[in-house]
Structure 1
Amino acid sequence: MRIVQIIDSLEAGGAERMAVNYANALVGEIDFSGLVATRKEGALRNQVQKGVSYLFLNKKNSLDLAALFRLRAYVKRNKVTIVHAHSSSFFIAVLLKMVYPSVKLIWHDHYGNNEFLLERASFVLKRTLLLFDGIIAVNQKLKSWSEEFLNFKNTICLDNFPSDWNAVSEQSYLKGIDGKRIVCLANLRIQKDHFLLLKVAKRIKETHPDWNFHLIGKDFQDAYSEEIKRLLVEYDLENSVFLYGSREDVSPILRQSTIGVLTSKSEGMPVALLEYGRYKMPVVVTQVGEIPTLVQNNKNGFMVVAQDEELFFEALNQLIENERLRIDFGNALYKAVMDKYSSKLVIRHYLSWLQKIAR
């Protein structure tokens, strides 16, 4: 089997991480594993294993014919049989099918705003799905949406999985005191609700001033990020909450951290949560998307209702004050992630499903 992953950029987002994770995990499992970034490279470029065939298209616009034919030449030269398009890269995959009909197309739906599926734009998607051979959904809600709303039956739900590959060209050093760092891996997007995090941080500063927060994620320099920065000043948190932007060295960052948090209003299954588990970190997260399928409240983490400041603060405060609980939660979450979300398990299901498509 010869498979190429297609993604629009290699900036550090959830869909981008999974495109890289699939390409890396397939090395040695199939005859050819490729990765194509269409529009932009980014921090994840250095996470691509040497065994992965990599192409950057440098696509300039939606109908960049030169980029399309570079992609066609790459697919033809490497005898690719299956193109696995992630998120919005489905459009160039459709164009590729038109100029290279023999290839099989898979679309991977990573949509994170699961609480608002009825508002999701789908006009172009509905009119191009006839060219696809299968859809991968990252959770059951998205699988049902594809089957019922898009009327597409060959849909499979495959869980996200953490990376087994940690090569990095840099190492971030977090501010603050060892053993007293709280990390949040989340791009600065409105559904991640950093405003709740800042409210909680303001209260933690009063009860435990030696603890601090470390926000890792892309800053889009928009109104949302500007409001975050304004609140940092208003809440007097400049020496308690630190913004690092996008980072590729997740492994060293998590090794320097003590507690992982996610304050999201909407999620699928966040890759960040899987990474927390992989590094045996205790967590406080919100009860959204597929998170409840992994986190068992009071057993391997704390899970609270989205936007509930009081419950989030109480849970985080409890973890800060109880080292034994942190260790127990971290070990339990690690076991849950390894049991259900290991790359080997997901890739086995993935290849079994693709064998039926490739016939």
Structure 2
Amino acid sequence: MTATPKNKRVLMLCTAARGGMRAVVEAYARDGLFERWNVLLIATHVEGSMVRRLGAIVRAMTRFLSLNLSGQVLFTHIHAAAGGSFWRKSIFGLIARLFGHAVIFHLHSGHISGHIDRLPLVGQRIAGWVLSRFSCVVVLSEVWRAFVLRIAPTAEVVIVPNYVVLPTMEPVDPIPQLAEQALNLLFLGFVGSNKGVFELIPAVARARSAGYDVRLTIAGHGEVDKARRMAADLDVANAVSVIGWVDGERKLELLRAADVYILPSRNEGMPVSILEAMSWSIPVVATRVGGIPEMIDSGVEGLLVEPGDVESILGAILYLAADRHLLPFMGRAARRRVETEFSKDVVLPKIEAIYEKLSRT
């Protein structure tokens, strides 16, 4: 590894809000990237009121400008999502380029293509021009690489998937579950329509009406009260637990107890929560959106369903509830997929290769 020049720092810009993007950055810090490359993390966004969010971006910009003016910056690594995140982070990136510094613009959101495609033509051209100004645009999957090259044909686009650390655990024995056992489904993430929660709860209700003991745990922040009301209205409040945001040991407990992880999102990039579930040998039911089809082959590591389609989600639940012997085989295949494509040892060197290249420019 090329040593970071003395008194030089890599600036990393990211939200402090809960979610997959922050989880990726926390993994970089945990796994030594910050130490090896003298990375300084600057939070450009926080959860809370408009005043808090404005204060965060003002503080971030002040510090960012100060560091650039002081000559301490080696290059900048910016993590961005769609909407306001894209445009706010673009300003930071363009300023860094004005100072003559290389910029990695790392796109995480599954909404990005929809957001830009809905803009007027002039807005799409501006977005493409912005992306073409950066030294490297990092995307999570081939589908997002194709999108970026469509609007910014001259951009340097590199695919670097998300990764997780594999938990230490005993291999799953291929012993079929008993049909009379409850099928425990787990959802982790933002509780809202874009994540498919309000199709998932009716699908569970219909599965139970068909005579299957299906139970669902929903853990995350967002429209928690609405989800609880829907479960009560559909008379499945005893089988659908909406428990709010969890992390740490409580999250691990939920993963250990889950038979199937389910994420019926309408848009996604490459969900860290799916990788976490796969690393725990849990089969996944997810939608054919974003980079998910590059993570899961339907029928191998889990099942793929159509976004926004209760019937499709229900069909996957019933299929797995009726054929429990598939679960341990799918779970073992899921873990193998993470080991070979989405583990720290596979993915982190790809980020460091970009760092190496930019450190020499």
TM-score range, shorter chain: 0.7 to 0.9
The CA distance in 2 between the partners of 1:333 and 1:4, in whole Å, is 34
Q: CA deviation at 1:268?
A: 2.1
Distance 1:312 1:129, change over 3 A: closer
| 1:82 and 2:58 matched | no
Contact between 1:68 and 1:92, CA under 8 Å: does it hold in 2?
no
What is the SS of the residue equivalent to 1:289? Answer: coil
Aligned residues: 327
Q: Cα distance 1:98–1:282, how it changes in 2: closer, same or farther (>3 A)?
A: closer
Letter in 2 for 1:81: L
Structure-1 residue corresponding to 2:298: 297
* Pairwise CA distance, 1:129: 4.3
**1:23 aligned residue (9, 29, 44):** 29
Q: Over residues 59-114 of structure 1, what are the superposed CA-to-partner deviations in whole Å (9 max), with x where a residue is unaligned?
A: 635872x5423344567889442221111252462375278x25422111112136
Distance 1:242 1:289 in 2: 28
- 1:235 and 1:63 mapped to 2: Cα distance? 42
**Structure 2 residue 206 is the aligned partner of structure 1 residue 211:** no
CA displacement at 1:130 relative to structure 2? 6.2
TM-score (norm 2): 0.78
Change beyond 3 A, Cα 1:59–1:136: same
Q: Is the 8 A contact 2:182 2:213 kept in 1?
A: no
Instruction: Say whether the 8 Å CA contact 2:44–2:57 is kept in structure 1.
Output: no
Structure 1: distance between partners of 2:338 and 2:152: 31
Q: 1:20 to 1:122 in 2, by over 3 A?
A: farther
CA distance in 2, matches of 1:259, 1:130: 41
Question: What is the aligned partner in structure 2 of residue 246 from structure 1?
Answer: 245
Structure 1 residue 338, shift from structure 2 partner: 1.3
**5+ residue gaps, structure 2:** 169-180
Report deviation, 1:334.
0.7
Contact 2:301 2:331 in 1 (8 A): yes
Once residues 164 and 27 of structure 1 are traced to their aligned partners in structure 2, the CA distance between those partners, rounded to angstroms, is: 18
37 and 235 in structure 1: CA distance in 2 versus 1, 3 angstrom threshold: same
1:250-265 to structure 2, matched below 5 A, reads 250-265=251-266
Instruction: Give the deviation of 1:214 after TM superposition.
Output: 0.9
Q: Do structure 1's residue 69 and structure 2's residue 71 form an aligned pair? A: no
The letter for the 2-side match of 1:106 is I
Is residue 2:159 matched to residue 1:142?
no
SS of residue matched to 2:76: strand
Aligned residue for 1:157?
A: 159
Equivalent residues in 2 for 1:149-298, closer than 5 Å? 149-163=151-165, 180-207=183-210, 210-219=213-222, 221=223, 227-249=226-248, 250-298=251-299
Q: Contact between 1:8 and 1:37, CA under 8 Å: does it hold in 2?
A: yes
Structure 1: unaligned runs, 5 residues or longer? 43-57, 167-177
| CA 208–79 in structure 1, closer or farther in 2 if over 3 Å, else same | farther
Give the alignment's Cα RMSD to 1 decimal.
3.3
Identify the residue that residue 16 of structure 2 maps to in structure 1.
Answer: 9
CA distance in 2, matches of 1:269, 1:8: 17
CA–CA distance in structure 1, aligned partners of residues 34 and 266 of structure 2: 38
- Name the CA distance, whole Å, in 2 between partners of 1:216 and 1:84: 30
Q: Which one is further off, 72-81 or 247-256?
A: 72-81
Distance apart, 1:140 and its partner CA: 1.9
Identity of aligned residues (%): 21
Q: Deviations over 1:176-224 (max 9, x none)?
A: xx974210122123321212201211012224564311112221x5xxx
- Please tell me the residue identity of whatever aligns with 2:152: L
Is the 8 Å Cα contact of residues 133 and 154 (structure 1) preserved in structure 2?
A: yes
CA distance in 1, matches of 2:145, 2:164: 21
Gap change, CA 1:304 and 1:95, over 3 Å in 2: closer
Instruction: Give the C-alpha shift of residue 355 in structure 1.
Output: 2.4
Q: Deviations over 1:313-344 (max 9, x none)?
A: 23222323444311110000110111111122
Distance 2:71 2:340 in 1: 35
Deviations 1:114-156 (A, max 9, x none): 6735226657645644652211111223222222213442111
Q: With structure 1 as the length reference, what TM-score do the two structures score? A: 0.78
Counterpart-to-counterpart distance in 2, 1:82 and 1:15: 20
Shift in CA distance, 60/258, structure 1 to aligned 2, threshold 3 Å: same
Q: How does 1:91-102 map to 2 (within 5 A)?
A: 91=90, 93-94=92-93, 97=96, 101-102=99-100
Residues 282 and 330 in structure 1, CA contact (< 8 A), matched pair in contact too: yes
More displaced 10-residue stretch of structure 1: 327-336 or 207-216: 207-216
Q: Is the 8 A contact 1:262 1:284 kept in 2?
A: yes
